Structure 1
Amino acid sequence: MRKLDLLISRAEEGLVGLLILSASLVLFANVIARYVFNDGFSWAEELVRYQIVWMVMLGASVAARQGIHIGVDILRRFTPPTIAKVIELLVHGISVGFCLFLVVYGVQLTEQTHRFGQLSSALQAPMWVIQLAIPVGGLLMGIRFAQHFFRTLLGREQSSAQLGQVG
């Protein structure tokens, strides 16, 4: 199970890195084409926009794994440990529920878009591929929040610094 977790973690981080790199290169090439050759790529901004959608959804999963999602922890800090644990379990449970919502409705949206055959305007790419980021990201985040839930339940939750380490 740890090897699968490590594989998913590496894939998430690698894909986010690849998306950042390729988006930067496409934007740089488009700027050069516009200002040096007076003719930009009509598809560049659209491609980068869709890359950002995927980056956000995959990056949210990385953030969930590392325990660095934004949160208000003042209540947890000033309550007894047992109540703090209940609060943490509640937060992780709500997070899993929200991710389940993203997966279910993301799949429905993606299926509907696939059925209609909707294409993006400049790239003429199938929109369902772009929208697939919602259920994929939701599933990955849900897995990460579920991991935190069970670690907290079993008393094995690590600090944010330890969660950030892969391997």
Structure 2
Amino acid sequence: MMLDRLDRGLSWAEDAFISTLLITASAILFVNVVARYVFNTGFVWAEEFVRYEIVWLVFVGGSVAARRGIHIGVEAVVHFLPPTARRLAAVAVLALCVAFCIVLMIYGGELAAQTRMFGQRTSAMQAPFWIVQLAIPVGAALMALRFSQRLYLEATGVHRRAEMEMIN
């Protein structure tokens, strides 16, 4: 029960975060275009800020896609497999996804730490660049969690039993 509440809270936070990023990126770009064409001036930081918002959007959005099971996959071959082999293939693919996300999280964290140590800054805003790079380990950790959840459900067959209960 507590884990369900934490999962719902995290899901809400992910959705709210990417929605906020989309809304603010759209608003900033719109205002910048109006400022440029109507007032002959623009905000120097706008395009850079939106670029970095999109970086965060991609990595946190990857977690949302993993949660919803909508990452791109090749399903044509899987449909020809018998049910047991199909399930084993799904478990193997999800395990590989978890492993990849863990490696990405580790190396992304090292990259952000190294960038912080060197004090690198963004070009227009002069913001610490490690904050942008932090999207890599944060997004990878969230994706690893979401793929792990799906791996558990697939390996135990929990979601299949729930579907069968809904049908009956």
Structures share a fold, TM > 0.5? yes
1:74 alignment partner in structure 2: 76
Sequence identity percentage: 50
Question: Does the alignment pair 1:90 with 2:92?
Answer: yes
SS of the aligned residue for 2:77 comes to: helix
Q: Report the TM-score, using the length of structure 1 for normalisation.
A: 0.93
Deviation, 1:157, is: 3.3
1:46 alignment partner in structure 2: 48
In 2, distance between residues paired with 1:132 and 1:156?
Answer: 34
**How far does the alpha carbon of each residue in 1:122-142 deviate from its partner, in whole angstroms, 9 at most, with x for none?**
011100101000000000000
The residue identity in structure 1 corresponding to 2:30 is F
Deviation, 1:75, is: 2.1
Deviation, 1:76, is: 1.9
In 2, distance between residues paired with 1:28 and 1:76?
Answer: 44
Give the alignment's Cα RMSD to 1 decimal. 1.1
In 1, distance between residues paired with 2:79 and 2:7?
Answer: 29
In 1, distance between residues paired with 2:80 and 2:142?
Answer: 31
In 2, distance between residues paired with 1:137 and 1:156?
Answer: 26
2:14 alignment partner in structure 1: 12
The residue identity in structure 2 corresponding to 1:35 is Y
The equivalent position to 1:123 in structure 2, one of 119, 122, 125, is: 125
How many residue pairs were aligned?
159
Structure of higher RCO (CA pairs closer than 8 Å, 6+ residues apart): 1
In 1, distance between residues paired with 2:77 and 2:147?
Answer: 20
1:165 alignment partner in structure 2: none
**How far does the alpha carbon of each residue in 1:85-113 deviate from its partner, in whole angstroms, 9 at most, with x for none?**
11000100010011011100000000000
Report which of the two structures shows the higher radius of gyration computed on alpha carbons: 2
Q: Report the TM-score, using the length of structure 2 for normalisation.
A: 0.92
